[in-house]
């Protein structure tokens, strides 16, 4: 298999965090699980909620770490090591401050951009060379306001934009599972062109 074998959604456990921007990765994996009839169950051995979905005729593991964000790597490394999943077959879905609500970017490797979940996963795997699906949540405009911002609920308009982005990005799952990453990027990064209407005078 050359494609994605493990999809990790990032977030913080607990009801008080469910609707906050930092939990966008959880929202995405929850939606994927609903679409594919998968159920995630708490597995203490893997420090998180783990399930399996059948996509494109292949089994793919779904994981939501049950640790707080800055300790996400413990769960990811536990699953990856047990099932012998290499870093390049892991997709981490996370909130992204540097993209507006509704923005989507797929990339492999690179820095963590101050995201504590990515930072811990790279440390636990011993490499940053895993795939990331970045879900835009916007930026408060002030670095000092970031913690407050990510731990609060998006506005209704922001949430609608994020939901549309999640739907669009889930459409790229077949390519991701098949390892057709360039095709997945093309699908995700190409926005449909709007046709301008010419007003008749």
| Predicted pLDDT at 1 | 58
Q: Is 83 annotated as a binding residue?
A: no
Quick one: tokens of 152?
A: 């609060």
93: nearest Cα among 126, 60, 46: 60
**Within 10 Å of residue 167's Cβ, how many Cβ atoms?**
11
> Hey, which residues does 6 pair with through a beta bridge?
61, 90
- Tell me the per-residue pLDDT of 171-188, one tens digit each, with 9 for 90 and over: 999 999 999 999 999 988
Cα–Cα distance list, 34 to 51, 62, 137, 155 (Å): 11, 12, 22, 24
112 is catalytic: no
Average pLDDT, the chain: 91
- Tell me the per-residue pLDDT of 65-98, one tens digit each, with 9 for 90 and over: 999 999 999 999 999 999 999 999 999 999 999 9
**Within 10 Å of residue 164's Cβ, how many Cβ atoms?**
13
Q: Is 2 annotated as a binding residue?
A: no
CATH superfamily of 6-189: Peptidyl-tRNA hydrolase (3.40.50.1470)
pTM for the full predicted model: 0.92
């Amino acid at each position: 298999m050359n494609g994605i074998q493990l999809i990790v959604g990032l977030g913080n456990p607990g009801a008080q965090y469910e609707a906050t921007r930092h939990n966008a990765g959880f929202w995405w994996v929850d939606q994927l699980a609903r679409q594919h009839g998968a159920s995630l169950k708490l597995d203490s051995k893997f420090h998180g909620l783990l399930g399996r979905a059948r996509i494109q005729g292949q089994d793919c593991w779904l994981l939501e770490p049950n640790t707080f964000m800055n300790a996400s790597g413990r769960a990811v490394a536990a699953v990856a090591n047990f099932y012998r999943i290499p870093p390049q077959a892991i997709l981490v879905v996370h909130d992204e401050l540097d993209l507006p609500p509704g923005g989507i970017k797929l990339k492999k490797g690179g820095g963590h951009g101050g995201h504590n979940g990515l930072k811990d996963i790279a440390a636990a795997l011993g490499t940053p060379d895993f795939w990331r699906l970045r879900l835009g949540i916007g930026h408060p405009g002030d670095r000092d306001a970031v913690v407050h911002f990510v731990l609060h609920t998006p506005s209704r308009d922001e949430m609608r934009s994020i939901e549309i982005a999640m739907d669009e990005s889930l459409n790229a799952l077949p390519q991701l599972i098949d390892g057709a990453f360039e095709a997945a990027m093309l699908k995700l990064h190409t926005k449909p062109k709007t046709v301008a209407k010419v007003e008749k005078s």
